[in-house]
Structure 1
Amino acid sequence: MTEQTEVLRYIVGPVCTNCYLLVNHKTGELLVVDPGDQAQLIEKQIEKTGAKPVAILLTHGHFDHAGAAEELADKYQISIYAHEAERETLEDPGLNLCGMIGEHKVYHADIFVKDEEVLNLAGFSIRVFFTPGHTIGGCCYYIADEKILFSGDTLFQESVGRTDFPRGSASDLIRAIREKLMPLPDDVTVYTGHDESTLIGYERMHNPYL
């Protein structure tokens, strides 16, 4: 990661989800990744950076990753991005799992992206990797210049995402990780949806699921 770039992690919500702020100090802009809950807390942290939010990136549509997206998008007048195959998960309470916290909610995205699409946001060139399996439209966001990957609930330290939720698929998930993520350089830092970050090279050597 270059000196001008900073990744800030905040643990939010009832299942301890990692929300990230990706700050580009050179442009004075930032991206919000997976704002799952506690919008006011995230707002306070955004204000502390002094940077301008320009977009929200969702790795997938489960409540614990998308729950605060709309409130933040409305406040800062910015767009929410998600993979095109994840619209159904976002908009179906049975698929976005909000019933787990006793709610009945529909989430949304403004811009639906495709596999291998490159987004130019906040001064970063971000490649989208379609990695279904945890959900039908899960994805990861890769910034090659910074050696950063936001993996959501696709890949964890010595583990992978759960596939026992509706529309989950263990075979799809493992295939996506092997084909999309494992070819990346060893020193790419993986910022996961829960728990601690890891490295691609470490997972290639030590992840028992791969």
Structure 2
Amino acid sequence: MVERIIVGRLNTNCYIYSRWKKECVIIDPGGDYEKIISHMVGKNLTPRGIILTHGHLDHVSALGKIIDYYVEQEIHLDIAAHEDDAIFFGSGAREIHEEAFQQMGIDGKALFQEMYKPIPDIDLFLEEGKSVFDCDLRVIHTPGHTKGSVCLYSEESDMLFSGDTLFFEGVGRTDLFGGDSQALFRSINEKLMPLPDRTRVFPGHGPLTTIERERGYNPYVQ
């Protein structure tokens, strides 16, 4: 089961992924924590943990509120992200996030003030090729959008959660802290395009797509 919840001012795709009857994992809770929690309660699902495809604020800003809610239910949730994006988490992360939004000018400063919530530390570091939270999602490290960007691939289900690495006929921006356009293109062409054509792609923003479509129509794919 995959369910998409569009959250936050930047319309981030938060995903609820489950291969179990009563449990799931939350991927990229970027805002609107009440909406995410309401969905979980309505479906009678308990999360095993939270996975972040990268550390940008529009993908992590609901973390603290979700963690707090489940603490009250006496449920501890681990936060899993790549070590190379650790700078976006914890007590020292505010300055990094604020700097990114400042590049957007006055509108960016106002948006930052509206969106920012304290970001907890990472509990588990995601590693290339390893599964996470005892499920079938395997980590593919895809630096470029950020140094620690990852995609999550299920070979069994022909699914890829691509974060902001790969979009429908597009890719994530590389002009923010840790961005590297050449690294992004290598990640996409060397690690994602070899996946089977039938692989369904669930991106961090925008509509779903497939590897076959992106190989044929995405201008950033060689």
Supply the distance in 2 between the matched residues of 1:158 and 1:166 (Cα, whole angstroms). Answer: 23
Distance 1:54 1:22 in 2: 10
CA–CA distance in 1 between the matches of 2:65 and 2:12? 17
What is the match of residue 17 of structure 2? 22
Structure 1 residues 17, 78: CA separation in 2 closer, same or farther (over 3 Å shift)? same
Is it true that 1:50 corresponds to 2:51 in the alignment?
no
Q: What's the CA shift for 1:93?
A: 2.9
Q: CA RMSD in A?
A: 1.6
Q: Which of 102, 115, 125 in structure 1 is aligned with 2:128?
A: 115
Q: Which runs of 5+ in 1 are unaligned?
A: 1-5
Contact preservation (8 Å) 1:63, 1:98: no
Task: Letter of the 1:19 partner, please give it.
Answer: C
Unpaired runs of at least 5, structure 2: 71-75, 103-107
Residue number among 5, 8, 11 corresponding to 2:6 in the alignment = 11
Q: Take 1:82 and 1:93, find their aligned partners in 2: how far apart are those partners? A: 17
| Equivalent pair of 1:62/1:95 in contact (CA under 8 Å) | no
TM norm structure 2? 0.85
The correspondence of residues 1-210 of structure 1 with structure 2, limited to 5 A, is 6-24=1-19, 26-76=20-70, 77-91=76-90, 92-96=93-97, 97=100, 100=108, 101-103=111-113, 106-107=118-119, 108-121=121-134, 124-210=135-221
Q: Deviations over 1:65-118 (max 9, x none)?
A: 000112212322211100111101334334334663233655232111122222
How many corresponding residue pairs? 202
Asked whether the 8 Å contact 2:14–2:204 carries over to 1, the reply is: yes
Does structure 2 retain, via aligned residues, the 8 Å contact 1:30–1:52?
Answer: yes
Match of 2:219, SS state, is coil
| Greater C-alpha radius of gyration | 2
TM-score where L is the length of structure 1: 0.90
Write the distance in 2 (CA, Å) between the matches of 1:94 and 1:132.
22
Q: Alignment identity in percent?
A: 39
